[in-house]
Chain A
Amino acid sequence: MSDATHSGFPKRRFKVSRRMLPYVLSLPALLVCIGILIPFVTAVLYSLQRYRLSQPWARKWNWGENYWNFLSDDSFWNTLKVSMTYAFTTVGIELLLGLGIALLLQKRTKFNNFVSIMLLMPLMTAPALAALMWKLMTNPGFGILSYFAGLLGFEDFNWASDPQTAMLTVVIVDVWVYTPFIMILLLAGLRSLPQQPFEAAALDGVPRWFVFYRITLPMLTPFLLTAVLFRMIESIQQFDIIYAMTQGGPGDALTVFQVEAYLNFFQSTNVGRSAALMMILWAITYFLSNIFIKNWLRLRERQRGEA
């Protein structure tokens, strides 16, 4: 029966010539690139214009003026400082905590596996929701953390409402959300390390701290760099936690790049300045990514050489 069917409708095969095949195979990647490049080029062009939606008649090319103005703009330097402080502080703390927890959970036991899964819960929470949750917990009137702070003697601890403690508060939220990401990445790295060097060190009676600094840490460095790279890129682009908690305030205490660019576009409709801010953020991200990737490649080459 199937033969009869096939004989009725001969199968047509779509053939791609060998010459065209590489182009066809790379077409999806090309389409994705176009989807990224068009907004990027548009942003570059906008950043070189005086372009406010509320003053369409004044739109003109001002070339580098948006960037040039940043040099004498205190708010820009504050944004740079706040963004860098936030990124380096959060990633630093998350790295230390993530590594510590990963080391504690390194041994494959049922308990450790259960705990590692439980610790992933914050990562499943949308950062904006986590921020709102923390906002409630730190409410001076009824927040449970404010209550505990009061018990510890911090009666007027105002968390994100006080410029002195606003950065600390959002860093805590970020650490709560993203430490599990670093932890799980490093845990996977730790469990994949070859066991021979550790067994040899154990036979020779090498102290544990020496094993950690001389064997574990160097072998784990590619994983550390990967974790830091991912987190650094994300942290320097932070928006949701900060915006949901304070909209960049109090004052200019938390005006990171994304918050500033968002307000410039959606509230002030200053497209030119907003685009220029995003281009600076892109340049910083590109620069930091390059450093991490170069070091990661160098390490990999060295490890291959040693092998």
Chain B
Amino acid sequence: MYDKENKLIDSFTAGKISRRELLRGLGAMGLSTSVAAVLVNASATRALAQNGFNWKAHEGTTVRLLLNQHPYTDALIANLENFKALTGMNVEYDVFPEDVYFDKVTATLSSGSSEYDAFMTGAYMTWTYGPAGWVEDLNEWIMDDTKTNPDYNWEDVLEGVRKSCAWSGVPGAAIGSDDAKQWCIPMAYEQNNLTYNKRIFDANGLSVPTNIDELLDTAAAAKAVMGGGYGIGVRGSRSWATIHPGFLSGYANFGQTDLTVGSDGMLSAAMNTAVSKEYHAKWVKMIQDSGAPDWSTHTWYQVGTDVGAGKSAMMFDADILGYFMNGGDNAEAGNLAFSGFAANPEASAATPNIWIWSMSMSRFSQNKDATWYFMQWVTGPEHDLFGAREMDLVNPARSSVWADEMFRNKLSASYPGYVEMHDASAPGASIKFTPQPLFFDLTTEWAEAMQKMVANEIPVDEGLDMLAESVNRQLAEAGLH
């Protein structure tokens, strides 16, 4: 790179000139905005190389990654050359679409293959991978000053997100406890909140619902005025993924849990309490009255594309799904708005359940220390900031990035209300499930029961009693009840 460009970027990194002045200067030198972004991060990388840490310790080593097709992966790949320049390491990767991604991970890990050193995962998955002995407890590296650079700042990762990736492995034990193992490191995460179509709401005098009863009324009113569309999008396929977004976020807001842990450490189903039954009944009625006609096949994809296409008036799902649908070629791009949602009228704030895309290290990796070099870089403040400012690494997992004015201004300019929604619900955001090894069995069965309730095959209260009975039986078979 030329000296003039270097100096300009270093001035920006040091805070001597504004972003506008930087872009104007680089533009005058014939560089596009996207190239400028990577160059700016190259400058941050040079600063990182000067923090006294030996980034070249594994020079020449190749790390292999298994990645999910996602905007977070795009951000990683866009910035990868800077990591290679910083460490002298090589990185190879395979990217798979999400439909088959987790099958690939399970197949690779269960076979004990050392093909991949690190891979993207969700925290729920580590409840299987960790106890199975397929992933490393990353505390060993995080706490080691000789292996982790002094600017990594682990405490900067949002507490609820950081702790949601840690579990002791004892069924029912709280996530993030003192004896918890850090099975994964967050890259970015999703809160589940309301995304609504402001155009439809404004045109029809609809106000943003603030609790579950208002949500039912508003969804019904929206459906009535939409002429062919429907009121609210929520997931409905026969999968654990139907339970974890909006549904569980609202459920947790009433103080309800999936399981209770007895004094003897045994687990019991808790989804058939009176409060739970009332909440389920309202949720089921909302889908029957105002949900998608083919709700039982809806995954995040249909929920997102329908709100983006103006087929639904709102969705109670991942906030980043609304973020992505508010841009690109979507028919309703620019019309979507965001709101934190507390289902319980007596709750002071939303308590969204979260999904975290994170990195785990394979226990079968042959280059664990080198792999950690990559992991601390990709989850570190520099890459997180680069991804948030220049790519779509939203929601970043670090509080320092959320405090960054440039990032906040970028979000507020194109996604009005997003920052406020995030800030209001982040304190209550965490994983609301009880960590235990039967997670996928029990939540899939929960989704199945919900489908039967929506189809009027079983009444809500009877369905929940049957579900609780089945859950307890399965827990007993696994020695957990």
A contact set with B: CB distance below 8 Å: 52-56, 58, 69, 135, 139-141, 156, 158-164, 245-252, 263, 266-270
| Surface stretch bound by A, among B15-23, B68-76, B149-157, B290-298 | B290-298
Q: Are A266 and B455 in contact (CB under 8 A)?
A: no
Q: Nearest-CB distance from A72 to chain B (Å)?
A: 9
A-B contact pairs, 17 of them (CB 8 A): A53-B110, A54-B131, A55-B478, A56-B132, A56-B133, A163-B452, A163-B457, A247-B239, A248-B238, A249-B237, A250-B296, A250-B454, A251-B238, A251-B457, A252-B448, A268-B438, A268-B441
Residue contact A266 to B103, C-beta cutoff 8 Å? yes
Report the minimal beta-carbon distance from B302 to chain A, rounded to whole angstroms.
9
Docked CA distance A161–B451 (Å) = 10
The answer on a CB contact under 8 Å between B437 and A55 is: yes
Nearest chain A CB to B479 CB, angstrom units: 6
B455 / chain A contacts, CB cutoff of 8 Å: 162-164, 250-251
- Say whether B293 contacts A156, CB under 8 Å: yes
Contact B448 A249 (CB under 8 A): yes
Taking a contact as CB atoms under 8 Å apart, the answer to whether A269 and B128 are in contact is: yes
Instruction: Name, among A52, A56, A135, the residue most crowded by chain B CB atoms within 10 Å (CB to CB).
Output: A52
Q: Which residues of A are found within 8 Å of B163, using beta-carbon distances?
A: none
Which A residue sits closest to B480, measured CB to CB? A55
Please, how many angstroms separate the alpha-carbon atoms of A249 and B452 in the complex? 9
Q: Which of A164, A247, A248 has the most CB of B within 10 A?
A: A247
Question: Is residue B398 contacting chain A, with contact meaning CB distance below 8 A?
Answer: no
Minimum Cβ distance to chain A for residue B447 (Å)? 8
Complex Cα distance, B456 from A250, in Å, reads: 12
B294 touches A139 (CB 8 A): yes
Q: How far is the CB of B36 from chain A (nearest CB, A)?
A: 41
A236 to chain B, nearest CB (A): 21
Interface residues of B in 170-212 (CB under 8 A from A): none
Assuming the contacts A163-B455, A250-B238, asked whether A54 and B128 have C-beta atoms less than 8 A apart, the reply is: yes
**B437: shortest Cβ distance to chain A, in Å?**
4
Closest 7 CB pairs of A and B: A249-B238, A161-B294, A54-B437, A250-B296, A140-B293, A251-B452, A54-B128
> B437 contacts A249, CB within 8 Å?
no
Interface contact A246-B131, CB-CB below 8 Å: no
Q: Shortest beta-carbon distance, B296 to chain A, in Å?
A: 4
Do A161 and B110 contact each other (CB < 8 Å), given the known contacts A249-B238, A250-B455, A269-B132?
A: no
Further pairs besides A160-B297, A250-B296, A269-B128: 5, Cβ < 8 Å: A247-B239, A251-B455, A266-B106, A267-B441, A269-B110
Bound form: Cα–Cα A161–B292 in Å = 10
Chain B residues lying within 8 Å of A160, measured Cβ to Cβ, are: 294, 297
Residues of B within 8 A of A247 (CB): 237-239
Q: Is the interface of B mostly helix, strand, loop or mixed?
A: helix
Q: Which A residues are CB-close (under 8 A) to B239? A: 247
Q: Once bound together, how far apart are the Cα atoms of A247 and B437, in whole Å?
A: 22
Q: How far is the CB of A11 from chain B (nearest CB, A)?
A: 45
Q: Do the beta carbons of B478 and A58 come within 8 Å of each other?
A: yes
Residue of A nearest to B105 (CB): A266
Q: Is B440 an interface position by the 8 A CB rule?
A: yes
Q: Which residues of chain B (347-381) have a CB below 8 Å from chain A?
A: none
Q: Are A58 and B106 in contact (CB under 8 A)?
A: no
- With both chains docked as a complex, state the minimum distance between the C-beta of A51 and any C-beta of chain B, in angstroms: 11
Bound CA–CA A251/B457 (angstroms): 9
Q: Which residues of B contact A (CB under 8 A)?
A: 102-103, 106-107, 110, 127-128, 131-133, 228, 237-240, 292-297, 306, 311, 437-438, 440-441, 444, 447-449, 451-452, 454-455, 457, 477-479
Tell me the minimal C-beta distance from B247 to chain A in angstroms. Answer: 16
Q: Give the distance to chain B from A242, nearest Cβ to Cβ, in Å.
A: 11
In the complex, chain B residues whose CB is within 8 Å of the CB of A269: 106, 110, 128, 132, 440
Min CB gap A235→B, angstroms = 21
Chain B min CB distance to A53 (Å): 5
Query: Which residues of chain A come closer than 8 Å to B292, judged between CB atoms?
Result: 140
What chain A residues lie within 8 Å of B479 (beta carbons)?
Answer: 58
Say yes or no: A246-B437 contact (C-beta < 8 A), given A252-B448, A266-B103.
no
Which residue in chain B gives the minimum CB-CB distance to A247? B238
Scoring B239, B297, B448, B454 by chain A CB atoms within 10 A of each residue's CB, the highest score goes to B297
Give the docked Cα–Cα distance between A162 and B452 (Å). Answer: 10
Chain A neighbourhood of B448, CB < 8 A = 249, 251-252
- Collect the chain B residues with CB atoms within 8 Å of residue A56's CB: 131-133
Q: Are A249 and B294 in contact (CB under 8 A)?
A: no
A219 to B332, CA, bound (A): 63
When distances are taken between beta carbons in the complex, the residues of chain A under 8 Å from B237 are 246-247, 249
Contact residues in A for B102 (Cβ distance below 8 Å) = 266
Give Cα A226–Cα B301 distance, bound, in whole angstroms: 42
Residues of chain A contacted by B437 (CB below 8 angstroms): 52, 54-55
Cα–Cα, bound, A163→B238 (Å): 12
Question: B127–A54 contact, CB under 8 A?
Answer: yes
CB distance from A78 to the nearest CB of B (A): 11
CB <8 Å contact, A267 and B478: no
Task: Report the separation of the CA atoms of residues A140 and B292 in the bound assembly, to the nearest whole angstrom.
Answer: 9
- The reply to whether B238 and A53 form a contact with Cβ atoms under 8 Å apart is no
In the complex, the answer to whether B294 meets A245 with C-beta atoms within 8 Å is: no
Judging by beta carbons under 8 Å apart, are B128 and A140 in contact?
no
A274 CB, nearest partner CB in chain B, Å: 12
What B residues does A266 contact at CB under 8 A? 102-103, 106-107
The answer on a CB contact under 8 Å between B132 and A161 is no
A156–chain B nearest beta-carbon distance, Å: 7
Which residues from chain B contact A58 at a C-beta distance below 8 Å? Answer: 478-479
